[in-house]
Amino acid sequence: MILRDILGCRSGHHRAHHLAGVLANGDADTSHGWELIEGLSGTFSYMSMMDSRPAFPGSFAMPLGTPSPRGWPGETVSFTAASAGTNTYVCPVPGHAQKGMHGAFIVT
């Protein structure tokens, strides 16, 4: 799972934008998750998920297990981006954001 790209959406001038997507873990040897945190950050501690809070209600996916012969584990993430701004998405598994699994999420 690569979490280094810039993601974005358009919220519109007078309304929020609802986002939904499926997070799937295709990494055969470790679990991964997804969390959109407030603000833009480039420095993360080992337990980055404890240093911040979700940017919007629902903008979090618990760490998923590793793939099996039955397929990749997945979870639907669904939330409303209620305001414009730049936030950061991270993998909430300890040490992953610190090692580079993060990126910008821009709502315009």
Give per-residue pLDDT as tens, 34-88.
Answer: 899 988 777 888 887 778 888 889 888 888 877 777 778 778 888 888 888 888 9
For the chain, the structural domain boundaries read 7-107
The radius of gyration of the chain's CA atoms, rounded to the nearest angstrom, is: 14
Tokens of residue 62, six digits: 């618990």
pLDDT given at position 6? 43
Split at pLDDT 50, 70, 90, the class of 15 is: low
What is the C-alpha to C-alpha distance for residues 84 and 12, in angstroms, rounded to an integer? 9
| 97 DSSP 8-state letter | T
Q: Is residue 107 within 8 Å of residue 8, measured between CB atoms?
A: yes
Look at the block and give the residue holding tokens 């414009």. Answer: 84
Largest CA distance in the chain: 46
Q: For domain 7-107, is the CATH number 3.40.50.300?
A: no
Tokens of residue 92, six digits: 């909430």
4 pLDDT more than 50: no
Split at pLDDT 50, 70, 90, the class of 16 is: low
